[in-house]
Amino acid sequence: MLNIFNKNINKFTLILISAFLTKIISDPRNINIQIIDVINKFKIKNFIKKNINKNNIKIISYNNNIILIGKLDSLNEINKLNKIINNYKYNKIKIFNKIKINNNKIKKQYFLKYFYENIKLYLILLKFNTTKLSNIKFFIVNDEIYIIGICNRKDTINLIRLINYYFKNKEIITAIIHKDFLIKK
């Protein structure tokens, strides 16, 4: 019986390691930036948790950009979070605070809807190939589309137009850093 248990643990461990390696390899960022992003995410998460005891703040880190999304109960909590972010000592990290006041909780039936819409958005962007998706991360929560990453201005405008066409009733919240390089003659 113990031997079967060990085999199952070994299979499970291999699956976890394979999934982790696949995620690392498929990510267009180099490994150093991936590690720095994970470290920044955990540092900011712990810093916020020490000062605001809320678990409903989602922190997404991508290419030294951090977006905070979620909902807090009052404007006072949002102002407190802004002060905390301003007091945080960070280098070369851009933090986008997109926290809103909590009017309603996400109902369980909407999780499947948002999962479906995230896949739909990804497939639409792949189909039209409007921009290099390797530097952009996006997701849909609470009927809001969040976009974070690095992109040039022209591609950003095209991306937002395309998303507006297919998702007319959703608010688009961007945290994009524009990297337009002008070639001087």
| 130-135, Cβ contacts within 8 angstroms, sequence gap of 24 or more | 130/155, 130/158, 130/159, 130/162, 131/155, 131/156, 131/158, 131/159, 134/28, 135/28, 135/63
What is the per-residue pLDDT for 181?
Answer: 44
Query: What is the full DSSP assignment across 36-98?
Result: HHHHHHHHHHHHHHHHS--S-EEEEEETTEEEEEEEESSHHHHHHHHHHHHHS--SS-EEEEE
- Which position has the token pair 């849909």? 140
Residues facing residue 71 across a β-bridge: 100
What is the per-residue pLDDT for 130?
Answer: 55
What digits encode the pLDDT tens for the residues 45-83?
887 777 776 667 888 888 878 888 877 777 777 788 888
Q: Is the per-residue pLDDT at 182 higher than 50?
A: no
Write down all domains in the chain, each with its CATH number in brackets.
Answer: 31-101 (3.30.300), 108-178 (3.30.70.1770)
What is the per-residue pLDDT for 105?
Answer: 57
What digits encode the pLDDT tens for the residues 122-178?
888 777 765 566 677 777 777 788 888 777 788 888 888 888 888 887 888 777 776
